[in-house]
Amino acid sequence: MATLGLRPHDSGFPHRHLLGIEGLSADQISFLLDLSESYVALSRSEQKKTDLLRGRTVINLFFESSTRTRTSFELAGKRLGADVINMSVAWSSIKKGETLIDTAMTLNAMHPDVLVVRHPDSGAVKLLSEKVNGAIINAGDGSHEHPTQALLDALTIRRRKGRLAGLTVAICGDILHSRVARSNVHLLSTMGARVRLVAPPTLLPTAIERMGVEVFFDMRKALEGCDIVMMLRLQTERMHGSFVPSIREYFRFYGLDREKLSAAKDDALVMHPGPMNRGVEIDSELADDIDRSLIREQVEMGVAVRMACLDVLTRSLRRNEPPGDST
Ligand code: ASP
């Protein structure tokens, strides 16, 4: 597998950290997706482990709960032969900045090569990247970005549809609070897909059209002719006040069921980043339908994408070169 080895002057990714999709070029995104493909193959083989990151330390620093993302980063690091440490930090808003910087400095003293960070505040991961020496991967910061989720979504779509350019993708639900939506909008637009957003007005950020997307309030109209329907979780933990009249009402207008999906193309596929609220934003039986739902495949692609990200961000280290630019 040629792409697993070190090829001098071919890092394909000039950045020191992965803080977001915004600012990445189509070539850089394609490079990460192509590299991820080789890790899908490795993960499906009997011997899943390489020693590419032997002697390197990856710390998963999570200020917010996570199952999929944390586990898949852990598995990704271990499959690459790194030592992986998981740290979950209880988050108290009283201690905010102090806790973040203190924790960063403490961990920095342990010389991690990569810090994978999830934090409830948008921008916190970037702040941390300015304080530490290792590479930082944003594993989700508030409602800002979740770059590895968008990459795994893109890999899943590309494998099934053969391309990203020219596809029509509807992202539906709680756009306002979703870092997954933001990262996906950046990625899909950069790669030449058409993005439609559909949500009740209360769950759409103002002036979102400026991101080059089409906005809909009617789910059936939004889904007409779509290739991919990406559902989002209603993020009640980020809601202060009432954003939807009731769960029943929400499902009636914005929950994905077979009837609404019939407006999309006959071969349209359904995605969800998880964790799912079954019966709230997606019909449970549809979520489990292996002919229409890519949800399990998304989880598999998550490990491969995270292996690719750990690989590229440590290439300069492994070659003893100065790190990439500080973005
Ligand atoms: N797991 C995704 C995230 O961390 C989506 C979600 O939580 O709804 O943003």
Please write the tens of the pLDDT for every residue from 54-80.
999 999 999 998 999 999 999 999 999
Record the tokens describing residue 163, joined without a space: 């391309």
Q: How far is CA 140 from CA 34, 233, 310, in A?
A: 23, 14, 16
CA dist., res. 200 & res. 253, Å (int): 9
Cβ–Cβ under 8 Å, residues 147 and 18: yes
pTM for the whole structure: 0.94
Between the CA of 113 and the centroid of ligand 1 the distance, in Å, is 25
Whole-number percent of the chain with pLDDT over 90: 80
The average pLDDT across 262-286 equals: 97
pLDDT for position 1 = 32
Q: Tell me what the mean pLDDT of segment 185-207 comes to.
A: 96
Residue from 118, 149, 234 to probe ligand 1 pocket by mutation (most atoms less than 8 Å from CB): 149
**What pLDDT sits at residue 96?**
61
Q: Using CA atoms, how far apart are residues 269 and 170, in angstroms rounded to an integer?
A: 11
What is the model's pLDDT at position 182? Answer: 97
The count of C-alpha atoms lying within 13 angstroms of the C-alpha of 250, restricted to the half-sphere facing its C-beta, is 25
Q: State the Cα–Cα distance between residues 184 and 136, nearest whole angstrom.
A: 20
Residue whose CA is at the smallest distance from ligand 1 atom 4:
140
Query: What is the average pLDDT across 122-150?
Result: 96
Q: Which two tokens stand for residue 326?
A: 């500080």
How remote is the CA of residue 171 from the centroid of ligand 1, in Å?
14
- Bigger pLDDT: 324 vs 1: 324
Helix axes 26-44, 179-190, angle to 10 degrees: 110
Model pLDDT, residue 259: 97
- Does the pLDDT value for residue 106 go beyond 60? yes
Going 206 to 209 to 212 to 218, the CA torsion angle's sign is positive
pLDDT tier, 293 (very low <50, low <70, confident <90, very high otherwise): very high
Of 185, 144, 188, the C-alpha closest to 165 is 188
Q: What is the pLDDT of residue 98?
A: 67
Rounded-to-integer distance, Cα 219 and Cα 175, Å: 14
Instruction: Choose one of 183, 233, 239 to mutate for the ligand 1 pocket test, by most ligand atoms within 8 angstroms of C-beta.
Output: 233
Q: Which element (helix H / strand E) includes 119?
A: strand 114-119
Could you tell me the sign of the dihedral formed by the alpha carbons of 207, 210, 211, 212, in that order?
A: positive
CA–CA dist 104, 92 (Å, integer):
16
Residue 137 pLDDT: 98
Helices and strands: H and E segment counts in the chain? 12, 9
User: Which two structure tokens, joined as six digits, stand for 180?
Assistant: 């997954």
Which of left, alpha, beta for 140 (phi over 0: left; psi -120 to 50: alpha)?
Answer: left
Among 217, 160, 215, 163, residue whose Cα is nearest residue 185: 215
Give the pairing type, strands 228-231 and 214-216.
unpaired
Tell how far the Cα of 313 is from the centroid of ligand 1, in angstroms.
23
Q: Mean pLDDT, to the nearest integer, of 222-234?
A: 97
**pLDDT score for 11:** 63
Predicted confidence (pLDDT) at residue 10 exceeds the cutoff of 70: no
Tokens of 77: 């690091």
Provide the mean pLDDT of the chain: 92
At residue 217, the pLDDT reads: 97
Q: Answer whether 118 contacts ligand 1 (Cβ < 6 A).
A: no
How many residues are listed for the chain in this entry? 327
**pLDDT for 104:** 84
* Per-residue pLDDT tens over the stretch 151-182: 999 999 999 999 999 999 999 999 999 999 99
Q: Both tokens of residue 155? A: 């890999």
| Cα 246 to averaged position of ligand 1 atoms, centre (Å) | 21
Is residue 295 within 8 A of residue 272, CB to CB? The reply is yes
